[in-house]
Structure 1
Amino acid sequence: MPLHLMLIVLVLLLILSGFFSLSETSMMAINRYRLRHLAKQGHRGARLTVKLLEKTDRLLGVILLGNNLLNTASATLVAIIVATLFANDDFALFIGTVAVTFAILIFSEITPKVIAAAYPERIALAASYVLTPLLFIFYPIVWFVNLFVRALLVLFRLQPQEGELDQKISTEELKTLVLEGGHFIQHKYQSMLLNLFDLETITVDDVIVPRSQVEAIDLDADDDLIESQLLTCHHTRLPIYRERMDNIVGIVHVRKVLNQMQNGKITAATLEKVMRKPYFIPSGTPLFTQLQLFQENQKRVGLVVDEYGEWMGLITLEDIVEEIIGEFTTHAPTQTSAFQKQDDGSIIVEGGTLLRELNRKLNVQFPLDGPKTLNGLILEHFEDIPEAGIGLSIAGCPMEIIQTKNRVVKTVKIFPSLMISDTKPKPTD
Structure 2
Amino acid sequence: MVALLIIIFSKITPKVIGAAFPKKIAANVGWLILPRIFVLKPLLWFIKSFFSGLMRVLGLQSSSDSRAMSKEKLRSLSNRFASNHHRNILLNLFNLESITVNDVMTHRSKIEALDLSRPIDEVVQQLETCYHNKLPVCDGDSERIVRILSVKKTLSLLGDADLKHQDFRSLLNEPYFIPSGTPVLPQMQFFQDNQQRLRLVVNEYGEALGLVTFEDIVKERIDEYTTSFSNLSTDPRWLADAMYLPSGGESLRDLHRLLTLNLPCNGPRTLNGLILEKLEAIPAHDVSIRIAGIVMEIVQFDEHGVKTVKLYRPIIVQAQD
State the TM bucket, normalised to the shorter chain. 0.7 to 0.9
Could you state the TM-score of these two structures normalised by the residue count of structure 1? 0.60
Shift of 1:177: 2.2
Q: Could you say which residue in structure 1 is the equivalent of 2:140? A: 243
- Pairing of 1:182-261 with structure 2 (within 5 A): 182=82, 186-261=83-158
Deviations 1:128-181 (A, max 9, x none): 88x969x79xx9xxx9xx9xxx79x98xxx743379973433323322222222
Letter in 2 for 1:220: S
Does the CA contact (< 8 Å) of 2:295 and 2:314 recur in 1? no
Task: Return the match for 2:177 from 271, 275, 280.
Answer: 280
Shift of 1:347: 0.9
Secondary structure, counterpart of 1:312 in structure 2: strand
Q: Could you say which residue in structure 2 is the equivalent of 1:10? A: none
State the alpha-carbon separation in 2 of the partners of residues 203 and 308 from structure 1. Answer: 19
Letter in 1 for 2:294: C
State the alpha-carbon separation in 2 of the partners of residues 217 and 406 from structure 1. Answer: 28
Shift of 1:300: 0.8
State the alpha-carbon separation in 2 of the partners of residues 379 and 176 from structure 1. Answer: 38
Q: Could you say which residue in structure 1 is the equivalent of 2:14? A: 119
State the alpha-carbon separation in 1 of the partners of residues 317 and 122 from structure 2. Answer: 50
Deviations 1:375-418 (A, max 9, x none): 11111111111134111111110011122234122211111245
1:170 aligns with 2:82: no
State the alpha-carbon separation in 2 of the partners of residues 249 and 328 from structure 1. Answer: 29
1:330 aligns with 2:228: yes
Deviations 1:3-50 (A, max 9, x none): xxxxxxxxxxxxxxxxxxxxxxxxxxxxxxxxxxxxxxxxxxxxxxxx
Does the CA contact (< 8 Å) of 1:227 and 1:267 recur in 2? no
Does the CA contact (< 8 Å) of 1:398 and 1:419 recur in 2? no
- Pairing of 1:20-419 with structure 2 (within 5 A): 106=2, 109-117=3-11, 118-119=13-14, 159-161=59-61, 166-182=66-82, 186-326=83-223, 327-328=225-226, 330=228, 337=233, 342-418=239-315
Does the CA contact (< 8 Å) of 1:397 and 1:419 recur in 2? no
Deviations 1:271-312 (A, max 9, x none): 211122112121112222111111122211111112222211
Does the CA contact (< 8 Å) of 1:217 and 1:226 recur in 2? yes
Shift of 1:244: 1.7
Query: Aligned residue pairs: how many?
Result: 296
Does the CA contact (< 8 Å) of 1:331 and 1:337 recur in 2? no
Secondary structure, counterpart of 1:309 in structure 2: coil
Letter in 2 for 1:113: I
Q: 1:248 to 1:420 in 2, by over 3 A?
A: farther
Letter in 1 for 2:292: A
Shift of 1:320: 1.1
State the alpha-carbon separation in 1 of the partners of residues 279 and 71 from structure 2. Answer: 37
Does the CA contact (< 8 Å) of 1:366 and 1:395 recur in 2? yes
Does the CA contact (< 8 Å) of 1:200 and 1:286 recur in 2? yes
Letter in 1 for 2:217: I
Q: 1:368 to 1:278 in 2, by over 3 A?
A: same
Does the CA contact (< 8 Å) of 1:397 and 1:420 recur in 2? no
Does the CA contact (< 8 Å) of 1:346 and 1:417 recur in 2? no
Letter in 2 for 1:233: C
Q: Could you say which residue in structure 1 is the equivalent of 2:25? A: none
State the alpha-carbon separation in 1 of the partners of residues 208 and 234 from structure 2. Answer: 23
State the alpha-carbon separation in 2 of the partners of residues 200 and 252 from structure 1. Answer: 31
Q: 1:132 to 1:337 in 2, by over 3 A?
A: closer
Letter in 2 for 1:252: L
State the alpha-carbon separation in 2 of the partners of residues 379 and 416 from structure 1. Answer: 21
Q: Which one has a bigger Cα radius of gyration?
A: 1
Q: Which region of structure 1 is more displaced relative to structure 2, 339-348 or 357-366?
A: 339-348
State the alpha-carbon separation in 1 of the partners of residues 104 and 114 from structure 2. Answer: 22
Secondary structure, counterpart of 1:175 in structure 2: helix
Does the CA contact (< 8 Å) of 2:246 and 2:310 recur in 1? yes
Letter in 2 for 1:274: L
Q: Provide the identity percentage.
A: 37
Could you state the TM-score of these two structures normalised by the residue count of structure 2? 0.78
Gaps of 5+ in 2: 19-28
State the alpha-carbon separation in 2 of the partners of residues 210 and 361 from structure 1. Answer: 19
Gaps of 5+ in 1: 1-104, 422-429
State the alpha-carbon separation in 2 of the partners of residues 246 and 235 from structure 1. Answer: 19
Shift of 1:331: 7.1
After superposition, the CA RMSD in angstroms is 3.8
